[in-house]
Structure 1
């Protein structure tokens, strides 16, 4: 019987392996979709789903994304869009950490929410969604709050952490955990028409500077609410930062806070 490598090379079209061929290879050789995808990329080929990536991301870089593990803390407004985009980008392993369930007030903006999902765990729905849109991606659901006592265990082996929580105290705790574990952190926050994004590397302590005047309680999100569009915008900016971190290219939002105001269509930058 042909080897998997020969099987794939014979069926490649302009360096691309169609989804149908990937499925057939998994069945023929008794492998998972993820295992077949790794072999495709190791042989300099590209799953056809990523063909629109290759003008900006090489096959070697696509392989690096697939070999990466990213943790997303929060699976709500920001987190749902972040998980979706990371999976479609081709990041191979995602850890999603959230202890919440879907409620009706989530339906206006949270990508993973739907009336049929009310009362179900957000991480459970996230796992189902990612398996549907990109079965080559492994999603590890963790229905728990991340804190100093469990951070090392929950974030074991990850390359990057994405902050998608909705309160200041949790953000500051995530920054502390990432500092101890020497992990890069991509932070985003939204409120009404506004939002901001920044990237924090170990030692920067940028969130402590951003929230230096916080005196407890929920942030401004509780006052301004959140529509459907600001989570998508902030999440897209966060995912672009994650991509640059994993590929080690581009200029990061380090020591800089990108602040957007879509009511007046203004974008500002604050340096730290």
Structure 2
């Protein structure tokens, strides 16, 4: 490392248990961050600042205005642009000493092995269960350390998986969650909402675990799950141990991994075309027609409040227990972002295969945005 590099990192090099050797370990490390969103942004920013030599970014999404309250690498000027590309540009300007590699693609079990193989440590910043299980399984099969983070309303979780403790014991994500929750049962940030500081805190914790793991300083969350509550500022640590069902659920080898259907494992049915997606513009044209029945499948109390058209509320949690009679042959279902409405449509179709079911694309949030755009125009 040159003198310029040492000057940049001198405050952490001064730490007695870190020093120049710790900095050199960071500079030699290759870390892959999957997801450049609420968790990925602080992870990337702090790892770039710390001097991780090579950072990889996997994200096929684009920046949206609703991202900006928590995804602090982006600005209004980036809306509509690739997250991976924008993040990489910022990080290179922030620290030109490091190498940033972008993968603006959707991570699948067909490309995961080739991408993950290029890195020493994997950090999961994803926001859905099929991807989390897929990343976990790939890390187990490739023997890669995995730093896990997740959010649920006012709580966040952090853990270090697939690293042996002093007794040689390793745990992975499946040891905590051997079975995935039902679709729509656990809401992500786009459905349940989140204060922007929470992913900042959890993402910074993930970056901290990576720095400790690479440099060999401090105590890492190996075989532990840390839970942080934003509203109380309390943290809890849960000791983890291998679960008996884990090996049975894991793909046996890389060939089995590539054949695994993670959507199916998580209970997510592929959209068959029977539940049709309806755009906000189409919805605006038909929402007052008596031939359509409109149903809100969100839970009581969810915001924003839907107004300006007649509708009934049948929460998805209740539809899982019983499908009630529904009038009319054309039914429009909506939720917050258009995910649970598709699931509800599949449930309705099983009970009423002769009716037409539509899911409002983008949900009520997109409908409100479109309405605001029309009002401003």
In the superposition, the TM-score normalised over structure 1's length comes to 0.80
CA distance in 2, matches of 1:188, 1:178: 15
Task: From 39, 44, 49, give the equivalent of 2:8.
Answer: 49
Task: From 105, 108, 119, give the equivalent of 1:144.
Answer: 105
* Residue 141 of structure 2: aligned partner: 180
* Residue 258 of structure 1: aligned partner: 226
Q: Is the 8 A contact 2:5 2:97 kept in 1?
A: no
* Residue 83 of structure 1: aligned partner: 44
Structure 1 stretches of 4+ moved >4 Å: none
Aligned length: 231
Task: From 236, 239, 244, give the equivalent of 1:271.
Answer: 239
Does residue 230 (structure 1) correspond to residue 189 (structure 2)? The answer is no
* Residue 120 of structure 1: aligned partner: 81
Q: Cα RMSD between the aligned structures?
A: 1.8
Does residue 100 (structure 1) correspond to residue 54 (structure 2)? The answer is no
* Residue 240 of structure 1: aligned partner: 208
CA distance in 2, matches of 1:96, 1:269: 29
Q: Is the 8 A contact 2:13 2:22 kept in 1?
A: no
**Shift of residue 195, structure 1, vs aligned partner:** 0.5
Q: Is the 8 A contact 2:133 2:173 kept in 1?
A: no
Instruction: Give unpaired runs (5+ residues) of structure 1.
Output: 1-37
Deviations 1:61-87 (A, max 9, x none): 211110110000000111011000000
SS in 2 for 1:125: helix
**Shift of residue 91, structure 1, vs aligned partner:** 0.3
Deviations 1:116-156 (A, max 9, x none): 00110000001111111100111000011222211121123
Deviations 1:174-212 (A, max 9, x none): 001111111000000113321110110165223452464
Q: Is the 8 A contact 1:159 1:246 kept in 2?
A: no
Does residue 191 (structure 1) correspond to residue 152 (structure 2)? The answer is yes
Instruction: Give unpaired runs (5+ residues) of structure 2.
Output: 164-169, 241-377
In the superposition, the TM-score normalised over structure 2's length comes to 0.58
**Shift of residue 46, structure 1, vs aligned partner:** 5.1
**Shift of residue 250, structure 1, vs aligned partner:** 2.7
Which protein has greater RCO, CA pairs closer than 8 Å, 6+ apart?
1
SS in 1 for 2:12: coil
SS in 2 for 1:119: coil
